[in-house]
Structure 1
Amino acid sequence: MAFDRRRELAWMLTLGVMMPAGFAQADTLSPGEMGHPNQKSIGIYVGSELTEGGSTYLAGFGHEPSSHWLEIIPRQQHPEGATWQVGVTDQARIPGELIDIPQVSTTYKYISSSYSEFAGFPPPLTNGGLNEKGVAARDIWAPSRPELVEMSEDAAEQTPQTGPQYSDLAKAAMERASSAREAVEIIGGLIDEHGFSTYGGNSHLIADAEEGWVFINFAGGQGLWAAERLGADQIRVSYPGYIHDFPADPGQSDDYMASDNFVDFAIEQGWWDGEGDYFNVQETYGQAFPAEDPGDFYPAFYTEARNPPALERELEEMGPLTLEDMLAYVRDPRWSTDFSGYGQVAELRPETHPELQSLWVAVTSAITTPFVGIPIGAEDVPPEFKQHRYMTKDADSHFLDPDYGPLEATRYATRTFKRLLYHTCEHPRDFLHPVTGEIETFERQLLDERGEVEAQALELFEAGDDAQARQFITTRTAEHLLASLELGEDLVRDVERQTRETYGIRMPEGDVAEGETAPATSQPMARHGWGAMIHCYADELDEYPRQHGQYAESSLD
């Protein structure tokens, strides 16, 4: 049957399997099914007992082929009866329908990396960030077992799926939670009450200064979810998100939570025999790690890194971990590629004024983008770091609305750092070390200045001048962001000049069809979809993980 064949091919894409020779995606799959292997994002939790200064870290990024920008969403009050729209549309790979659900009276302030594209998921989208209560969150793919995905697909043939999707849940955690545990209770409660719109399985990694939680929400339309507490002495890498041992009676422990049907459904399906006090959630409800079943969709170095326990051991051996370690780890070219839409490291420090807790953000892929610390007390970011038309969903369908003219007229930081990425990754042996050296020298300067900046802000807070303190933080944050952009523009200018002088600018070969006259430079630029990847990884160039700042003496001159 035609639908079954499309579903089979879509599932091959989800698993990261190469398409059959001669297969034309656009002729066979709908936009929601086309070219989306759902292997997205990385999340890293490091408990406070394993860090040099007692901070808790939550780090990572998302994978999205779209625009990215920074937002500081303010605390807001909502009238009684207010609602917000959640879910996915009929353009999603598993079709859905948007619904309205009740909004809470107060939503908290938070910092987010926003983006515009995931088929059928209305923008703006978020994977989390850091909120005013010191709660950080990351969203990470976590593929459910094929039977569960098929259940969702079969049900969607009759009735579109409804309920919040991954971005809605991440947003709810940021807007409503005052602790990591409460975030789990909130997003689990939303699924219990309204259902879940899935693309095939997902997870969240959530932390506050005391603990972390990993939360897995499964496909299948059964409202299945489970959560495991992570202590201050633990490291968890979600790449993808996973839970292994889970109690048969989760209600008897404060370290676990789950939907009411989570254990019984596994037994009913014959996926677990019900014997013993624990069962393995990934083996029961999930899939093998990509490194265990790599296929040949992605480059080998990229797939081989997708082994969470191995990365956890790697981080343990590096300990005690510092903020600089985390910045360098998110920047690691084994996963920081053109696919990584941004970089984030939430640094949750003990005994720190709440408005000085910071999210370190690289506005796009950290391989060629500086991290800048943004305290939650900051009220805005410069227009250069906000939404622009470059790679934004449907930006080419209309002329620019005059309301957005002044914003669009500013430089766009994401575009600058993407240019730097493409030039650097074309010749990484020439440029990766000096570009990284300049970026990490800049980051160390920010860290050197932080004590003085925070002391001035804290003095204002303690004097009761909260508004002035926030204005001071906002001004200094803007200065740091704009300085990072100036650095990016200087670097891309130097790298482009040297590329022209040494190699020239390589032009695309394109795909020439019989009878076609359009040159390659006018042909589609994303013709290979998710099977193509620009990256800076080069064999024998470096050993990873590496120390932050080790290329400080490297120069482009």
Structure 2
Amino acid sequence: MCDTLVAIGNATADGSVILAKNSDRAPNEAQRLVYLPHARHEAGAKVACTYIEVPQVPETYEVVLSQPFWLWGAEMGANECGVAIGNEAVFTREPYEKGPGLTGMDLLRLALERAATAREALEVITGLLGTYGQGGNCAFGQKLYYHNSFIIADPTEAWVLETAGRYWAAERVRSVRAISNALTIGREWDLASPGLVEHAIEKGWCRSREEFDFARCYSDPLMTWGAGGRPRQRRATELLTAHKGQITPATMMGFLRDHGPAGSDPRWHPSRGLRGTTLCMHALWGPLRSSQTAGSMVAHLAPDLQTFWLTGTSTPCTGLFKPVFLKGAGLPDIGPAPTGTADPASLWWTHERLHRAVIEDYAARLGLYRRERDALEGEFVAGAAELQARYRSAPPEERASALAAFTASCFTRAAEATARWHKAVTASPARRSPVLFSLAWRSYSRRAALR
């Protein structure tokens, strides 16, 4: 399951738009960071998505993506124009197209590659929905079908787009907004697909246009409850509202690390809870807590130069956000792309060794390096702000070179710190974790051949 948050200019400290997302996937579903340069394509070319091909456009934008290793699409990402998107699984009464189709992650990537503004991205997604629908299995190691919602942002505005099959509604964000694994648009929206209300009346989900409520009419109540999205959406909204006018990228990073009100208890442990109702998600066993946060992003959409803060690793409470810039800067060499089998040379699995050691005795072991982690991340944030000010008006090549060097330095320092922290954590004796929690994680690690 997942959570996406956004604050537009009237709610942030510097007047910029900031989008944040936690991508929650299966515990061994490694996520990779992908950089794709601006490209031109031959007439008549096709693009092979996860399950189907669609016609390619003449030109695609430069993008950075956080992508489950086995999918063509992405859970979140951004492009050179400053468009950033996060998507969520939602469960609706509309039938799922289980044959080959476009996944929500495919729609997200296609929109980033093709749209220069948030409104254009919304139109790309809804246009593709109308032509191809959405379909195909969306889970690693099991079968799971769902529809999708999105927050789509650029440096001037943000939109919430929620879908049910080929039907959809969209709402322009007025200040702050959060979505999780549940439909949230009710009686008011700014844009909608043709026949949205009439279809609900025809199905008997409401009796009249006056009675129509998109979320109430189209939601699958049982699956939506099981996904735990409503309590997470409420928690995210509480955090955004409480910090309105003061929200920064660092604030959003803190939100993505949130474990709810109980998380402030020094005895808190990630084994707590029947359902996945915390923004920073930790897996257990069973269908209600089978996901962990597999990757995180905070997109700082300043008008002149955007910074994309990506972990490239699981559970942000145990990891680090690193800065990435586009317009020629891109990603450094971060090692081989991960898969579902542990690879100590990959960024994701290197951190996963640390994460799985920490959760054996969460409070004590995270406490061994949390202060150093926060200080290092603070240096990255301060350094990015300094570079933005220094190179805002610099020639593009000079700026790209400086930003690329800074990104490479941050990834290198993060890797060195992760190695130090893993050594310190594994040298510290762990108190016994709850039995079911320990058994679940031993099973996940055994399946991934992680030792």
Name the TM-score class by shorter chain: 0.7 to 0.9
**Alignment equivalent of 1:363, drawn from 305, 309, 312:** 312
Q: Please give the alpha-carbon distance, in whole angstroms, between the structure 1 residues aligned to 2:361 and 2:442.
A: 21
Q: CA deviation at 1:271?
A: 1.1
Q: Find out whether 1:342 has 2:305 as its counterpart.
A: no
Structure 1 residues 428 and 136, CA gap change in structure 2 (3 angstroms): same
Equivalent residue runs for 1:299-318 within 5 Å = 303=228, 306-318=231-243
Pick aligned residue for 1:479 from 384, 405, 409: 409
- Quote the residue 1:35 is aligned against: none
Number of the residue aligned with 1:120: none
Q: What's 1:279 paired with?
A: 212
State the distance in 2 between where 1:503 and 1:195 align: 48
The answer to whether the Cα contact below 8 Å between 1:128 and 1:174 also exists between their aligned partners in 2 is: no
Identity %: 24
Q: Contact 2:177–2:237 at 8 Å: present in 1 too? A: yes
User: What are the Cα deviations for residues 477-519 of structure 1, in whole angstroms up to 9, with x where unaligned?
Assistant: 111111111111111111111137x889x9x9979xxxxxxxx
| Residues 304/259 of structure 1: CA separation in 2 closer, same or farther (3 Å cut) | closer
Written as runs of structure 1 = structure 2, the 5 A alignment for 1:152-551 is: 152=96, 160=99, 162-197=100-135, 199-219=145-165, 223-231=166-174, 233=175, 235-247=176-188, 256-276=190-210, 279-288=212-221, 293=225, 303=228, 306-319=231-244, 320-333=246-259, 334-338=278-282, 339-350=292-303, 352=304, 356-365=305-314, 366-384=316-334, 386-389=336-339, 391=341, 411-461=345-395, 466-499=396-429, 525=446
Q: Deviation per CA, 1:61-90, whole angstroms, max 9, x where unpaired? A: 2122312221111111000001112464xx
Matched, 1:106 2:32: no
Unmatched tracts of structure 1, length 5 or more:
1-39, 89-97, 118-122, 248-254, 393-407, 512-519, 528-557
CA distance in 1, matches of 2:61, 2:219: 33
How much does 1:244 deviate? 2.8
Cα distance in 2 between the residues matched to 1:493 and 1:523: 22
Seen in structure 2, the aligned counterparts of structure 1 residues 430 and 264 have a Cα distance that, compared at 3 Å, is same
Conserved? CA contact 1:385–1:414, under 8 Å = no
1:444 is paired with a residue whose SS is: helix
Of 73, 78, 86, the match for 1:130: 78
Distance 2:86 2:353 in 1: 26
Letter in 2 for 1:363: G
Q: Structure 2: which 5+ residue stretches go unaligned? A: 137-144, 260-277, 283-291
SS of 1:360 mapped into structure 2: strand
Aligned AA (1:245): G
Query: Match for residue 272 of structure 2?
Result: none
Distance 1:212 1:102 in 2: 27
* Equivalence for 1:397: none
Matches within 5 A, 1:18-97: 40-65=1-26, 66-86=29-49, 88=51
Separation of aligned partners in 2, 1:324 and 1:213 = 22
Tell me, in whole angstroms, the C-alpha distance in 2 between the residues paired with 1:523 and 1:224. Answer: 37
Kindly name which structure, 1 or 2, has the bigger radius of gyration based on alpha carbons. Answer: 1
| Residues 72 and 379 in structure 1, CA contact (< 8 A), matched pair in contact too | no
Q: For 2:62 and 2:134, how far apart are their aligned partners in 1?
A: 25
Alpha-carbon displacement from aligned partner over 1:2-36 (angstroms, at most 9, x marks no partner): xxxxxxxxxxxxxxxxxxxxxxxxxxxxxxxxxxx
Shift of 1:132: 0.7
> Are residues 139 and 347 of structure 1, via their aligned partners in 2, closer, same or farther at CA, if it must alter by over 3 Å?
same
Whole-Å Cα distance in 1 between the matches of residues 247 and 438 of structure 2? 45
Q: Which residue of 2 aligns with 1:116?
A: 69
Does the Cα contact within 8 Å between 2:82 and 2:306 map onto a contact in 1? yes
| Residue 337 of structure 1: how far off its partner (Å) | 3.5
Considering only aligned residues, what root-mean-square deviation do their CA atoms show, in Å? 3.1
Structure 1 residues 68 and 471: alpha-carbon distance in aligned structure 2, compared to 1, 3 A threshold: same
- Residue 260 of structure 1 and its aligned partner are, at CA, apart by 1.5
Contact between 1:136 and 1:208, CA under 8 Å: does it hold in 2?
yes
Q: Deviations over 1:498-547 (max 9, x none)?
A: 137x889x9x9979xxxxxxxx98998359xxxxxxxxxxxxxxxxxxxx
List per-residue Cα deviations over 1:230-267 (Å, max 9, x = no partner).
Answer: 12x2x2211124233345xxxxxxx6222222222111
Amino acid at match of 1:218: A
Larger relative contact order, structure 1 or 2 (CA cutoff 8 Å, min sep 6):
2
SS at match of 2:47: strand
Would the alpha carbon gap of residues 523 and 483 (structure 1) be closer, same or farther in structure 2, given more than 3 Å must change?
closer
The secondary structure found in structure 1 opposite 2:371 is helix
Q: Which amino acid aligns with 1:417?
A: H
Q: Distance in 1 between matches of 2:368 and 2:428?
A: 13
What is the one-letter code of the residue matched to 1:418?
E
Determine if contact 1:139/1:203 at 8 Å carries over to the other structure.
yes
Give the TM-score normalised by structure 2.
0.82
Please give the alpha-carbon distance, in whole angstroms, between the structure 2 residues aligned to 1:81 and 1:444: 48
Q: Distance in 2 between matches of 1:280 and 1:380?
A: 43
Verify the 8 A CA contact 2:155 2:301 in the aligned structure 1: yes
C-alpha contact (below 8 Å) 1:201/1:217 kept by paired residues: yes
